[in-house]
């Protein structure tokens, strides 16, 4: 505990006095130069899905359309995640700079920050920041406008196509994919949608070059990442760490000496039991040896006083409420899972019923329309398989 | 005089009639009225040239968009995992005691509504709750009583009546 094995990085929150100079310097480069810098950095989306950012911008820039959009996804709703709020509080100009440069590269004149309703208290300060930034854009003759769009308490709107629907005044129900946002996004126009942290990283990359970013992390998972750390830890908070760390090192730094499990990636992520701490690394799936888990940054620690049944039950309640209800596997599946584990716990169903529930999560993984329904399997399977006895007795 | 109609008209004028302005208009009305009634949905549909079903569909989707009358101060206690682990049930009990209502209810003076909500993004300072837009973290039973007594003394002037 508190061993400080992991190197603390200070890039994201480091206050860079002058966003104008970064913007000015970058605007002198061609669009291709900027995209190549991003691709060279190996930056992948920090919302959790991990799509290469440079490629996303490139694909959208290649689309022909009368209007395009840049959207910053600040609908941070994954349980255990709170880093985007801090970025928008401390260094919003980095996010705005990233959005404006993306706008020039893809040919968009309008950007939006989709801010979750829970963070509405940020709106006033954010609008002041936007106003200041808009003045800098004008000075540099960059035609790019940013507005904030308020979400209103719907986790699913963090899913990019549900977010577009929400902005279009509809129910936040995910769309079929393809077409992807690079072709068909907000109002049917080519749209780049990036997580808050991803945009903040683009600022660092444009400021210092791809090299400084790529020096951090490991193969396939370059750079640093903000981690939102909570649960049974003496030092909860937001930490910037390198990708590629093992859960064991993480627990040694942040655990309370009695860590039983770590939930990586929130309710839609994976639960890692103690016996797998050493072999599990945090990063995007790639050439890493052993198990590699992606995360939007949510790391929740649980000590041996915690009931894993209660944990799973809480996640399932969350999913049941936040499922948009559009597709049957997710709407009915989440409800059946919660009823199912309750029935096993009560003894109304025998332990073998857990196998049926596990099979149901496989079905949901294969047939649910979006990431919400598909990822219920992650936490369900990793908890039920590793803590089976706690589900029964 | 139809207050709802006037409010909707001025909101539609402010934001525009296009469908993508529906959510900001609903939010604007909910802020003034504390909820969006079915009548209000009809008026919005009429003013924006949308079907009432579409407006109803959007209005009932978002958990922060109340479609039932609420108090001036809407309290939303986070019930997701970390807040649950750090004692949100004690916080709820303290709120029920301080407000003399149960979860889901509104005080008879229409000042407070007590609700639960999903992850607020304050897991490192759990348990947490929202009162309207304001965040309260690291809650204890004592702190809850303190906060509620402060809100009870407030006179909220920007809302109707």
For residue B158, pLDDT over 80 is answered with no
Do A189 and A82 reside in the same domain of the chain? yes
Find residues 139-158 of chain B whose CB sits inside 8 Å of chain A. Answer: none
Find residues 36-55 of chain B whose CB sits inside 8 Å of chain A. Answer: 54
**SS3 of chain B: helix, strand, coil, percent, to 5:** 50, 10, 40
Shortest distance between the Cα of B113 and any Cα of chain A, in A, equals: 17
Residue A10 located in a structural domain: no
Q: Is B65 on the interface with A (CB under 8 A)?
A: yes
Q: Tell me which chain A residues have a C-beta less than 8 angstroms from the C-beta of B81.
A: 79-80, 231, 263, 267, 300, 311, 314-315, 318
Number of domains making up chain A: 3
Shortest distance between the Cα of B137 and any Cα of chain A, in A, equals: 13
Do A69 and A103 reside in the same domain of the chain? yes
Q: Which of A76, A152, A172 sits opposite B64 (nearest CB)?
A: A152
Say whether A153 and B62 touch across the interface (CB within 8 A).
yes
Shortest distance between the Cα of B128 and any Cα of chain A, in A, equals: 11
Residues whose CB is less than 8 angstroms from the CB of residue A206 and which lie 6 or more positions away in sequence, other chains included: A22, A25, A26, A34, A37, A97, A98, A101
A192-196, A278-282, B6-10, B51-55, range with the lowest pLDDT: A278-282
Task: State the Cα–Cα distance between residues A229 and A379, nearest whole angstrom.
Answer: 18
Say whether A152 and B63 touch across the interface (CB within 8 A).
yes
Shortest distance between the Cα of A153 and any Cα of chain B, in A, equals: 5
Q: Which of B23, B24, B121 sits opposite A82 (nearest CB)?
A: B121
Q: Is B3 on the interface with A (CB under 8 A)?
A: no
Q: Tell me which chain B residues have a C-beta less than 8 angstroms from the C-beta of A153.
A: 62-65, 117
Residue A100 located in a structural domain: yes
For residues A14 and B155, the model is more confident at A14
Shortest distance between the Cα of B100 and any Cα of chain A, in A, equals: 26
Do A34 and A143 reside in the same domain of the chain? yes
Do A80 and A152 reside in the same domain of the chain? yes
Structural domain ending residue among the three candidates A252, A284, A302: A302
Residues whose CB is less than 8 angstroms from the CB of residue B29 and which lie 6 or more positions away in sequence, other chains included: B4, B7, B8, B11, B36, B40, B44
Do A210 and A62 reside in the same domain of the chain? yes
Q: Tell me which chain B residues have a C-beta less than 8 angstroms from the C-beta of A318.
A: 80-81, 118-119
A212-216, A310-314, B65-69, B132-136, range with the lowest pLDDT: A212-216
Task: State the Cα–Cα distance between residues A152 and A162, nearest whole angstrom.
Answer: 13
Say whether A321 and B118 touch across the interface (CB within 8 A).
yes
A280-284, A346-350, B39-43, B149-153, range with the lowest pLDDT: A280-284
* pLDDT tens digits along A2-37: 578 899 999 999 987 678 999 999 999 999 999 999
Say whether A154 and B80 touch across the interface (CB within 8 A).
no
Helix axes A31-41, A53-61, angle to 10 degrees: 150
Say whether A154 and B135 touch across the interface (CB within 8 A).
no
Q: Which of A79, A154, A237 sits opposite B124 (nearest CB)?
A: A237
Q: What is the pLDDT of residue B159?
A: 47
Q: What is the pLDDT of residue A289?
A: 53
CATH number, position A32: 3.40.50.11540
Shortest distance between the Cα of B125 and any Cα of chain A, in A, equals: 8
Shortest distance between the Cα of B3 and any Cα of chain A, in A, equals: 24
Both tokens assigned to A264? 């990586």
**What is the percent of chain B with per-residue pLDDT over 70, rounded to a whole number?**
96
Say whether A314 and B80 touch across the interface (CB within 8 A).
yes
Do A112 and A235 reside in the same domain of the chain? no
Chain B residue with the nearest C-alpha to that of A155: B118
Do A47 and A142 reside in the same domain of the chain? yes
Chain B residue with the nearest C-alpha to that of A307: B85
Task: State the Cα–Cα distance between residues A158 and B118, nearest whole angstrom.
Answer: 14
Q: Tell me which chain B residues have a C-beta less than 8 angstroms from the C-beta of A171.
A: 57-58, 61
Residues of chain A scoring pLDDT < 70: 1-2, 17, 285-290
Domain span including residue A367: 308-392
Residue A295 located in a structural domain: yes
Domain ranges for chain B, please list them: 3-59, 73-153
* pLDDT tens digits along A258-306: 999 999 999 999 999 999 999 999 987 655 456 778 778 999 999 999 9
Chain A residue with the nearest C-alpha to that of B65: A152
Say whether A300 and B117 touch across the interface (CB within 8 A).
no
CATH number, position A313: 1.20.1440.230
Best A81, A114, A117 member to test B by mutation, with max B CBs in 10 Å, is: A117
> Cα–chain-centroid distance for residue A337?
25
Q: What is the pLDDT of residue B116?
A: 98
Q: Is B62 on the interface with A (CB under 8 A)?
A: yes
What DSSP line would sit under A125-138, residue for residue? HHHHHHHHHHHHHH
E strand spans, A37-153: 69-74, 110-115, 145-150
Q: What is the pLDDT of residue A293?
A: 81
Say whether B19 and A169 touch across the interface (CB within 8 A).
yes
Task: State the Cα–Cα distance between residues B85 and A303, nearest whole angstrom.
Answer: 11
Q: Is B100 on the interface with A (CB under 8 A)?
A: no
Do A379 and A276 reside in the same domain of the chain? no
Shortest distance between the Cα of B73 and any Cα of chain A, in A, equals: 15
Do A203 and A106 reside in the same domain of the chain? yes
Question: Average pLDDT over chain B, rounded to whole?
Answer: 95
Do A99 and A185 reside in the same domain of the chain? yes
Task: State the Cα–Cα distance between residues A189 and B61, nearest whole angstrom.
Answer: 24
Say whether B20 and A118 touch across the interface (CB within 8 A).
no
Find the helix or strand (DSSP H, E) in which A393 lies: none
**Under CATH, to which class is B73-153 assigned?**
alpha beta
Do A202 and A264 reside in the same domain of the chain? no
Find the helix or strand (DSSP H, E) in which A187 lies: none
Chain B residue with the nearest C-alpha to that of A266: B81
Chain A residue with the nearest C-alpha to that of B48: A169
Q: What is the pLDDT of residue A286?
A: 57
The position carrying tokens 């909707």 is: B8
Find the helix or strand (DSSP H, E) in which A299 lies: strand A298-303
Say whether B82 and A80 touch across the interface (CB within 8 A).
yes
Q: Tell me which chain B residues have a C-beta less than 8 angstroms from the C-beta of A331.
A: none
Q: What is the pLDDT of residue A17?
A: 62
Do A234 and A197 reside in the same domain of the chain? no
Residue A277 located in a structural domain: yes
């Amino acid at each position: 505990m508190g061993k400080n094995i992991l190197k603390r990085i200070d890039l994201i929150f480091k206050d860079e006095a002058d966003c104008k100079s970064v913007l000015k310097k970058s605007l002198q480069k061609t669009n291709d130069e900027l995209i190549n810098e991003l691709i060279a950095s190996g930056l992948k989306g920090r919302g959790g899905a991990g799509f290469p950012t440079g490629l996303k911008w490139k694909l959208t820039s290649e689309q022909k359309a009368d209007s395009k959009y840049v959207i910053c996804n600040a609908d941070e709703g994954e349980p255990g995640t709170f880093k985007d709020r801090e970025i928008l509080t401390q260094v919003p100009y980095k996010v705005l700079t990233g959005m404006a440069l993306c706008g020039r590269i893809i040919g968009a004149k309008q950007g939006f920050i989709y801010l979750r309703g829970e963070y509405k208290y940020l709106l006033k300060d954010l609008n002041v920041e936007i106003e200041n930034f808009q003045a800098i854009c004008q000075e540099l003759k960059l035609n790019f406008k940013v507005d904030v769009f308020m979400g209103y308490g719907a986790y699913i709107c963090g899913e990019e196509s549900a977010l577009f629907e929400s902005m279009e005044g509809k129910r936040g129900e995910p769309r079929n994919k393809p077409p992807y946002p690079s072709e068909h996004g907000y109002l049917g126009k080519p749209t780049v949608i990036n997580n808050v942290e991803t945009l903040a990283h683009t600022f660092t990359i444009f400021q210092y070059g791809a090299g400084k970013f790529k020096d951090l992390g490991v193969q396939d998972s370059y750079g640093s990442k903000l981690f939102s750390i909570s649960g049974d830890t003496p030092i909860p908070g937001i930490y910037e760490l390198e990708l590629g760390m093992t859960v064991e090192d993480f627990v040694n730094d942040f655990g309370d000496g009695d860590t039983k499990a770590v939930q990586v990636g929130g309710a839609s992520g994976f639960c890692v039991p103690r016996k797998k701490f050493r072999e599990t690394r945090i990063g995007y799936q790639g050439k890493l040896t052993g198990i590699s888990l992606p995360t939007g940054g949510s790391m929740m620690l649980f000590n041996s006083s915690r009931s894993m049944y209660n944990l799973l039950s809480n996640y399932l309640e969350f999913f049941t409420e936040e499922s948009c209800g559009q597709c049957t596997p997710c709407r009915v599946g989440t409800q059946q899972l919660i009823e199912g584990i309750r029935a096993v716990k009560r003894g109304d169903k025998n332990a073998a019923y857990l196998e049926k529930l596990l099979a149901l999560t496989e079905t949901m993984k294969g047939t649910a329309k979006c990431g919400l329904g598909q990822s219920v399997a992650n936490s369900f399977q990793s908890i039920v398989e590793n803590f089976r006895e706690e589900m029964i007795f | 005089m139809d207050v709802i109609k006037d409010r909707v008209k001025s909101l539609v004028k402010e934001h525009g009639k296009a469908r993508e302005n529906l959510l900001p208009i609903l939010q604007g009305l909910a802020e003034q009225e504390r909820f969006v009634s079915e009548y209000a949905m009809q008026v919005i549909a009429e003013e924006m040239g949308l079907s009432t079903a579409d407006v109803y569909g959007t209005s009932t989707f978002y958990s922060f968009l109340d479609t039932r009358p609420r108090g001036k101060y809407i309290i939303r206690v986070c019930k997701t995992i970390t807040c649950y682990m750090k004692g949100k049930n004690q916080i709820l009990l303290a709120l029920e005691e301080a407000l003399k209502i149960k979860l889901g209810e509104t005080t008879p003076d229409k000042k407070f509504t007590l609700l639960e909500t999903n992850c607020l993004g304050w897991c490192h300072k759990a348990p947490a709750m929202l009162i309207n837009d304001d965040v309260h973290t690291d809650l204890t039973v004592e702190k809850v009583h303190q906060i509620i007594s402060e809100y009870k003394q407030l006179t909220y002037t920007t809302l109707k009546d």
